C-alpha cells in the first residue's frame, strides 16, 4: 500500500552544531515527497501527524563485535554438516549431545509446586536459606568463619553477576587497586573489571611449551605486583586451560599472597564438577581461609547443578571480624539495589532445596559424579585416539593432566579456524574445547581434526 512519506530529517542539532538556546525551539524539517520544508506544528510544539525519524539519534552507536564464546553457538546452529560438534560453550551435554536437566532439580521444582511457593520479592541479599547453604557448601558447614559470623554472603546473578558485585565493591572501597587475572582467563573477566572501572593486569599462568602451568612465572608476577592487589584465582578447573596448581603449588601461591598482603579473590564456577567431589574442589579456597586470610569468593550453580539460565550464584566475602562482614554485606546490598533491585527466587529455592535436604543432596552428588565421570571418559578416549592415530611421536598426555570441562589443545588461531572451517568443530579461537560437548562416538573424528590442524596448519 502506497503512502506519502513524511519524515523528520533533522529534529535535533548534531554534535558539531553550537549548543542550542532552549528558549528558541528549532523547527524540525520534514521531507515531503523529496522536498525539505520547515514544519511548524499546528498545536503548540506537539507534532500531530505521523513522522518517521530517518536520522537516528543512535547514529553514533557502533555495532558491537559478537561475543567470542556465545557467537560460536550461533555459527554452529547455522552449520548443517552431520559431524558438526559444538565444543565452544561450557555447557554439559549427555552422551546423545543433548542438554541435561538434573533429576534432583526436577524433584526440587516439584516440591516447590506442591508447596505452592509464592513469587514475592526476595530481600536485596537474596533467599536466606540459599545464602546459608551456599556458604556452608563452599567453606564447609563446620568452618569457624561461618560459626563466627565472619562471612558476608549475598545471592548474586550467577557467577558473572557475583563477580560484578565484587568489581563494584573493589572500585568503591579499594580505589586504584588492581585485580590481577591469569593469562589466559575466562573471557568475561576482563569485561567485568572494565565495566566496573577496576584496573586489571595479568600474571603468567599458561606455558605453551609444556601446555602446563607456568608456575615460576606466576609466582614471580605475584611477587612484583603492587602490595595489596586482588589476585583472581580459579578455585578449580581453570577456564580455559583445565590446568590447576597442585596442592603444594597452591600452598606456595598462598605464601606469596600473604607475604605481599594481596587479597585472594576466588572464582568458583565448577565446584564438584572438576573432580566429582564438592569438598575436593573447594580445598583451595578452604586452605586460604584456614590461614586466616580475608578472601572474596564468587560462586556459580550454572555447571554443577545445570542451572545455567536461572542465574544463581553468590558473592562471599570472608572478613576478619563479624563486624566487618556486616558492613561489607550492607555495602554489597547497596550496590545490588540500583543494579537489579533483588535477585530471582527460582534458582535460589532449587539450590536451597537440594543442598539443604540430605536425601536430595546425596542424589545430587551421585549425579555430579556421573557428569564429571562422563567428561573424564571422553577425555581419556580423546587422548587414546590422538595417541594411536598420530604417528609423529607427539606427547598428548597434557590432555589427561587437565581437569574439568575444558581442554586447552594448544592449537593456535589458524589451527582453530581449520577445525571449524574444514572439520565443522566449533570452538573458541584460543584453542579451548569443551569436553562436555563431546561424546564417545565422535572422539576419533575429533582426534582426526586435531591432528590435521596441528600438523598441516602452521
Ligand atoms: C571461570 C568462570 N567464571 C565464571 C563463570 C560464570 O558463569 P555464570 O555466570 O553462568 O555462572 C564461568 C562460566 O563459564 C566461568 O568459566
**What pLDDT sits at residue 74?**
84
Residue range 44-70: mean pLDDT, rounded = 76
Q: What is the pLDDT of residue 51?
A: 61
Preceding amide of 244 cis, omega within 30: no
Region 5-28: mean pLDDT is: 40
Whether 180 and 369 have beta carbons less than 8 Å apart is answered as no
Is 323 assigned a catalytic role?
no
Instruction: Decide: 372 and 378 in contact? Cβ < 8 Å.
Output: no
**Pocket of ligand 1, candidates 165, 300, 434: which has the most ligand atoms within 8 Å of its Cβ, to mutate?**
300
- What is the SS3 string spanning 405-437? CEEECCCCHHHHHHHHHCCCEECCCCCEEEHHH
For ligand 1, pick from 302, 313, 347, 432 the residue to mutate: most ligand atoms within 8 Å of CB: 302
Q: Which three cell numbers, joined as nine digits, stand for 256?
A: 606469596
Per residue in 143-171, pLDDT tens? 999 999 999 999 999 999 999 999 999 99
Residue range 228-250, pLDDT digits in tens: 999 999 999 999 999 999 999 99
Beta-bridge mates of residue 201: 180
Give the closest residue (by CA) to ligand 1 atom 13. 269
Question: In the beta sheet, which residues pair with residue 151?
Answer: 318
> Within 13 Å of residue 6, how many CA atoms lie on the same side as its CB?
11
Alpha helices in 61-127 (DSSP H): 70-78, 103-115
Please tell me the residue having the least CA distance from ligand 1 atom 7: 159
| The architecture CATH gives domain 70-100+370-456 | Alpha-Beta Complex (3.90)
CA distances from 220 to 183, 210, 223, 251, 439 (A): 14, 18, 5, 15, 40
Residue 417 grid cell: 579456524
Residue 164 CA: distances (Å) to CA of 132, 150, 264, 347, 348: 21, 21, 16, 19, 18
For cell 550464584, the residue is: 313
pLDDT of residue 411: 95
pTM passes above 0.85: yes
E strand residue ranges, 286-389: 295-300, 312-318
CA distance 340 to 342: 6
Strand blocks (E) in 330-429: 406-408, 425-426
pLDDT averaged over every residue in the chain: 90
pLDDT at 34 over 80: no
- Render pLDDT for 269-313 as a digit per residue (tens, 0 to 9): 999 988 889 999 999 999 999 999 999 999 999 999 999 999 999
SS3 183: strand
**Structure-model confidence comparison of residues 49 and 135, the more confident one:** 135
**What is the model's pLDDT at position 319?**
98
Share of the chain above pLDDT 90, in %: 83
Q: What is the pLDDT of residue 3?
A: 39
Residue 138 Cα, ligand 1 centroid: separation in angstroms?
16
What is the 269 CA–ligand 1 centroid distance (Å)? Answer: 5
Q: How many CA atoms lie within 13 A of 361 on its CB side?
A: 12
Residue nearest to atom 10 of ligand 1 (CA): 302
Residue 218: name the closest of 260, 160, 174 by CA. 260
Distance 294 CA to ligand 1 centre (A): 22
Q: Is 196's pLDDT higher than 80?
A: yes
Q: Whose CA is nearest to atom 3 of ligand 1?
A: 269
Please check the confidence at residue 397 and state whether its pLDDT lies above 80: yes
Catalytic residue (one of 107, 178, 303, 442)? 303
Catalytic: 267? Answer: yes
Decide which of 205 and 24 is more confident.
205
Q: Within its chain, how far is the Cα of 224 from the centroid?
A: 28
**What is the dihedral sign for C-alpha 189, 370, 283, 155?**
positive
* pLDDT, tens digit (0-9, with 9 covering 90-100), for 75-123: 899 999 999 999 998 899 999 999 999 999 999 999 999 999 999 999 9
Task: Please check whether the domain covering 103-360 is classified as CATH 3.40.640.10.
Answer: yes
Contacts of 151 (CB under 8 A, 6+ apart): 135, 139, 145, 316, 317, 318, 319, 325
Q: How far is the CA of 75 from the centre of ligand 1 (A)?
A: 21
What residues does each domain of the chain span? Answer: 1-62, 70-100+370-456, 103-360
Q: What is the pLDDT of residue 2?
A: 37
pLDDT-based confidence at residue 66 (cuts at 50, 70, 90): confident
The catalytic residue among 186, 200, 396, 423 is: 186
C-alpha 438/C-alpha 444 separation (Å) is 11
Which cell numbers hold the place of 3? Answer: 503512502
- For ligand 1, which residues put their CB under 6 angstroms from it? 90, 158-160, 186, 234, 239, 267, 269, 300, 302, 308, 313
> Residue 49: its pLDDT value, please?
56
Q: What is the mean pLDDT of residues 371-376?
A: 94
Looking at the CA of residue 189, tell me the nearest atom of ligand 1: 3
The catalytic position among 221, 244, 267, 281 is 267
Which whole number is the average pLDDT over 213-223? 98
Which positions ≥6 away from 437 have C-beta within 8 Å? 85, 86, 87, 88, 89, 91, 93, 97
Measured in Å, residue 364 CA sits from the centre of ligand 1 at: 20
* Closest CA to ligand 1's atom 6: 159
Average pLDDT over residues 20-49: 46
pLDDT at 97: 94
Active site residue 250: no
Q: Give the model confidence (pLDDT) of 306-346 as tens digits.
A: 999 999 999 999 999 999 999 999 999 999 999 999 999 99
CA distance 395 to 386: 9
Query: Does residue 18 or residue 134 have the better pLDDT?
Result: 134
Amino acid at each position: 500500500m502506497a503512502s506519502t512519506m513524511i519524515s523528520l530529517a533533522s529534529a535535533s542539532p548534531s554534535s558539531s552544531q553550537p549548543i542550542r538556546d532552549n528558549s528558541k525551539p528549532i523547527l524540525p524539517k520534514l521531507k515531503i515527497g523529496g522536498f525539505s520544508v520547515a514544519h511548524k506544528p499546528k498545536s503548540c510544539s506537539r507534532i500531530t501527524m505521523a513522522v518517521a525519524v530517518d536520522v537516528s539519534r543512535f547514529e553514533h552507536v557502533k555495532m558491537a563485535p559478537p561475543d567470542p564464546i556465545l557467537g560460536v553457538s550461533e555459527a554452529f546452529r547455522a552449520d548443517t554438516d552431520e559431524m558438526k560438534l559444538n565444543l565452544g560453550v561450557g555447557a554439559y551435554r549427555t552422551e546423545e549431545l543433548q542438554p541435561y536437566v538434573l533429576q534432583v532439580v526436577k524433584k526440587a521444582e516439584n516440591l516447590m509446586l506442591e508447596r505452592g511457593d509464592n513469587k514475592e520479592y526476595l530481600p536485596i541479599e537474596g533467599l536466606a536459606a540459599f545464602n546459608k547453604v551456599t556458604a556452608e557448601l563452599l567453606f564447609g558447614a563446620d568452618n569457624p568463619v561461618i560459626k563466627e559470623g565472619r562471612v558476608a554472603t549475598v545471592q548474586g546473578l550467577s557467577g558473572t553477576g557475583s563477580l560484578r558485585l565484587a568489581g563494584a565493591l573493589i572500585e568503591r572501597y579499594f580505589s586504584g587497586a588492581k585485580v590481577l587475572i591469569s593469562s589466559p582467563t575466562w573471557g568475561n573477566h576482563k569485561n567485568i573489571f572494565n565495566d566496573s572501572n577496576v584496573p586489571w593486569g595479568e600474571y603468567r599462568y599458561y606455558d605453551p611449551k609444556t601446555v602446563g602451568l607456568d608456575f615460576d612465572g606466576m609466582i614471580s608476577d605475584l611477587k612484583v605486583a603492587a602490595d595489596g592487589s586482588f589476585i583472581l584465582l580459579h578455585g578449580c578447573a581453570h577456564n580455559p586451560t583445565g590446568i590447576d596448581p597442585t596442592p603444594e603449588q597452591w600452598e606456595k601461591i598462598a605464601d606469596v599472597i600473604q607475604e605481599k598482603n594481596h587479597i585472594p579473590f576466588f572464582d568458583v564456577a565448577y565446584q564438584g564438577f572438576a573432580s566429582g567431589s564438592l569438598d575436593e574442589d573447594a580445598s583451595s579456597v578452604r586452605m586460604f581461609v584456614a590461614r586466616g586470610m580475608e578472601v572474596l569468593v564468587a560462586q556459580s550453580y550454572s555447571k554443577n547443578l545445570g542451572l545455567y539460565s536461572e542465574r544463581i550464584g553468590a558473592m562471599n566475602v570472608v572478613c576478619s571480624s563479624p563486624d566487618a562482614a556486616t558492613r561489607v554485606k550492607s555495602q554489597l546490598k547497596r550496590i545490588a539495589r540500583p543494579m537489579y533491585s533483588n535477585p530471582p527466587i527460582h534458582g535460589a529455592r532449587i539450590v536451597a532445596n537440594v543442598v539443604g535436604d540430605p536425601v536430595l543432596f546425596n542424589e545430587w552428588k551421585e549425579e555430579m559424579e556421573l557428569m564429571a565421570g562422563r567428561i573424564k571418559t571422553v577425555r581419556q578416549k580423546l587422548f587414546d585416539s590422538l595417541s594411536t592415530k598420530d604417528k609423529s611421536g607427539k606427547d598428548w598426555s597434557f590432555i589427561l593432566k587437565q581437569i574439568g570441562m575444558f581442554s586447552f589443545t594448544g592449537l593456535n588461531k589458524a589451527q582453530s579456524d581449520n577445525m571449524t572451517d574444514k572439520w565443522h568443530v566449533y570452538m573458541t579461537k584460543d584453542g579451548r574445547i569443551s569436553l562436555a560437548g563431546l561424546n564417545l562416538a565422535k572422539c576419533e573424528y575429533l582426534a582426526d581434526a586435531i591432528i590435521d590442524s596441528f600438523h598441516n596448519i602452521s
